[in-house]
A and B are shown apart, each in its own frame.
Chain A
Amino acid sequence: MNIFILNLIKEYTYGAGYTLILLLKTVIQIKSFFFKKNEIIHQMYIAGISSLFVVSIVAVFTGMIMGLNAGLGLKDFGAEGQIGLLLTITLTREMSPFMTALILSASVGSAIAAELGTMKVSEEIDALEVMSIDPVRYLVMPRVLGFSAMVPVLCVYSTILGIIGGAVVGHFQLGVDYQIYFNDVSARIASVPGLKDLYVGLFKGLVFGVIISIISCSHGLRTTNGAIGVGKATRESVVTSFLVVIFFGYVMTAFFYR
């Protein structure tokens, strides 16, 4: 049992170290940004456009669920008209970056881990190394940059859809007028705390993007043991991304709103 725990600790420590070194190497390779711009745009397309549908559905329903729950609670105090304000704060500050990160981790992050894992077990990564082509420059950097650039964009998109979802529920189920709702929303966003929420939300999106993409690449590049290994790498990349995103989400909230 003790050996099992020691091996587990050893494995996690190695994984964390490998991922941090990979991040450092990726940062160094940003110098090749221009040479890899087409690949980065392609990765932006994969992260952004291909996950647009699922992000849209989840964002609208999250806004509707949050709006309904908050509205029903506030109705007891006759304050259901405040749901626009409440949703704007919650979505910009916390929910949109978190929700977008989890969706992208499960859809695009897992695909990155599986893709690189398959390349690893089919010797394509070895082939790149033998040709003196740095896998970090060729594979990791474009994925991390493309993915990280798209998460904040999708955060803004999901915030807008969430707010619209809340407006629809507020109007049809709580009787909140659209004009009052959107006046509250725009007043909050234009205010100093509202702008801070927006910038913090975008920053969180960017950090989550880096975390998910680098963890996915790290798990992919460390894949061994054929098809079973690819499955394991994919699953572990999603689980690790979730845990690290939650942890850093808390750290950033504590840092900015303490």
Chain B
Amino acid sequence: MEPIIEMINVHKTFGSRKILKGMNLRVKKGETMVILGPSGTGKSVSLKHITGLSIPDEGDCKIFGKSISYSKEKIRKEIRARMGVLFQSGALINWLSVYENVALPLREHKLASGKELDRIVMEKLRWLDLVHAKDNLPGDISGGMKKRAGIARALTTNPEILLYDEPTSGLDPVMSNVFNELILRMQKELHVTSVVVTHDMQSAYMIADRISFIYEGEVIFCGTPDQIKESSNPLVIQFILGETKGPMTLDHSEKK
């Protein structure tokens, strides 16, 4: 099956820091790919390249077979219209209520109005158990609810791809599992292709079809959860076991 998300030999440098050093990633339709790795190795930067928010110094990112990195704005918008992103903090507009945040893409692109808009928004809010908080401002709700509202907003345009940046970070174990189940449910019921950036091993095992392990800006392992558990790569083993001693250095993000 042809991949619908491809990162091909992507290099990226910020100042003197080389973040991505030939990153390659292929995600097939309907698959949930988890990008795993220690902090500062380029997980979130990879996600920014997939959304087209960051342009590679070298290499390309193709979504649905089209380059999101080098295409014109019109093509980029067409690709983004088929994609939803959950940012780490939810990234809700802070002066809009939860309802208005979820309705935002529909209103701004004039995709729906009146009763139709209300029906779509309420459906997504019900799906994410947020009806009771629909009139609240983002500042008045918990971190978990903000993230759920972020997913609801990402779902309003019925995306084929969902990207999650650290969906379980800052959440308690129960809420983390609620999120993991939600991601699984979306894959099962909505058949979306997902890319999840995390360093939560339990979450990765639960939701992933495949896991890509990034270290120092490149994928050093890619396989199923069972395969990663049996990996003999010392870096992977150290990360999985959370050991402080091993080949993984603490200042990997500073290395050039």
Contacts and interface: CB of A to CB of B under 8 A. Distances in A.
A128 B94 CA distance: 13
Nearest to B77: A132
A126 B87 contact: yes
14 contacts: A123-B88, A124-B91, A124-B92, A126-B48, A126-B51, A126-B91, A127-B150, A130-B51, A130-B80, A131-B104, A132-B105, A132-B109, A133-B104, A138-B108
A133 B105 contact: yes
Contacts of A124: 91-94
A119 B150 CA distance: 15
A131 B94 contact: no
The secondary structure that dominates the B interface is: mixed
A122 B139 CA distance: 13
A254 B88 CA distance: 52
Nearest to B44: A123
Interchain residue pairs A-B with the least CB separation, the first 9 = A127-B91, A123-B91, A132-B77, A123-B87, A130-B85, A131-B105, A133-B108, A124-B91, A132-B80
B109 A127 contact: no
A130 B108 contact: no
Contacts of A11: none
Interface in A90-133: 119, 122-124, 126-133
Contacts of A127: 85, 87, 91-93, 150
Contacts of A128: 93
Interface in A165-187: none
B1 to A, nearest CB: 26
Given A131-B80, A132-B109, A126 B53 contact: yes
A133 B81 CA distance: 10
A65 B153 CA distance: 55
Interface string B93-122: 110000000001100110000000000000
A146 B3 CA distance: 47
B89 interface: yes
Contacts of A122: 89, 91
B186 to A, nearest CB: 17
Contacts of A126: 48, 51, 53, 87, 91
Contact of A132 (B81, B87, B153): B81
